[in-house]
Amino acid sequence: MPIRSMTGFAQVRGEIQRPDHSGTAMTGSAASSSHLAFALSLKSVNHRFLDLHFRLPSGTDSLEMQLRRLLKEKMCRGHVEISLNLERTNNETFFLNREIVGGYIAAFRAAAAEFSLASEPDLNAVLRIPGALDSANDTADGAIEAAVMSKVGEALDRLNQMREEEGRGIARELRDRMAHLAEASKSVQQHRRAVLQTYNERLQSRLQELLGTIVDKERILQEAALLVDRSDIQEEIVRLETHVQHLLGLLEAGGEIGKKLDFLLQEMNREANTLLSKTSGLAGEALKITEAGLAMKAEIEKSREQVQNLE
């Protein structure tokens, strides 16, 4: 499975052939068929989990359930907005529902007569009653549902194409940043021995001054050597280099690796912080290690920003 970003957009269009309405309670060009165009849009951005939001016409609950089931099978993470817009074509035919409109007018006039009111129903108000006018967006026969589900696979393919293209770009940047991190690690390694030797010499010299003629001087010097060893940054360097190789291996394997990479970069940041804390307050060669450590942290932080967008 390729590496995918969680950011993408895709839209597909389709058309629904609506059966004629002959034999119903509608009036108009009942013997003819009409068309209903639709646009299905998928828009995704980064999110910790899979978060689906639907904007569908009323009366499409069954369609939403099918879309939700399919998207959960095909996507792992991301905030995804699914929008369906119905677009009437120029030859769209409207049909008057005589039962609804007639019932409303009859009730209106009965109420006017009962309360002795001189009033007639407003046609504009009547036609705004739900169901008074029927158009090609009738979903009773499942035509819209079938047409949209036949197109959702194409929409997902387009969305994943965009997500994969951006994923490849992020992977390239991560590889570049890991290369910079490896260079900074080599720089630290080059200066490490010199810094350790200087630290050891200074510490022993200072202890000699303080100890004077104390008999247990050798024992204290051994403890000083142990302290110097604990101040060594070799362990942090090795772990950083191991983490870099692990991250590159994950990029090579591909798939859903966003959370793994984020955790790995947190560990790398922890090692860089430890490295900097062990060399703080030292001058000379140690300043070059500090510079390299800060460069490491910058690369790690920039990598973490990119990883947040990976599925």
80-139 pLDDT per residue, tens: 999 999 876 555 566 778 888 888 889 988 998 888 888 888 888 888 787 777 654 454
pLDDT at 141 over 60: no
pLDDT at 162 over 90: yes
Asked whether 121 and 104 are in contact (CB, 8 A), the reply is yes
Higher pLDDT: 117 or 251? It is 251
CA 279 to chain centre: 38
Asked whether 222 and 43 are in contact (CB, 8 A), the reply is no
What integer is the mean pLDDT of 169-198? 85
pLDDT at 27 over 50: no
Write down the pLDDT at residue 218. 64
Residue spans of alpha helices (H) in the chain: 61-74, 98-114, 123-127, 143-211, 217-230, 234-253, 258-279, 285-307
pLDDT at 23 over 50: no
Asked whether 311 and 258 are in contact (CB, 8 A), the reply is yes
Higher pLDDT: 280 or 266? It is 266
* Mean pLDDT of the residues in the chain: 81
What integer is the mean pLDDT of 144-173? 94
Asked whether 6 and 256 are in contact (CB, 8 A), the reply is no
pLDDT at 22 over 60: no
| Interacting residues of 212 by C-beta distance below 8 A, sequence separation 6+ | none
Write down the pLDDT at residue 260. 94
Place of tokens 């119905």: 86
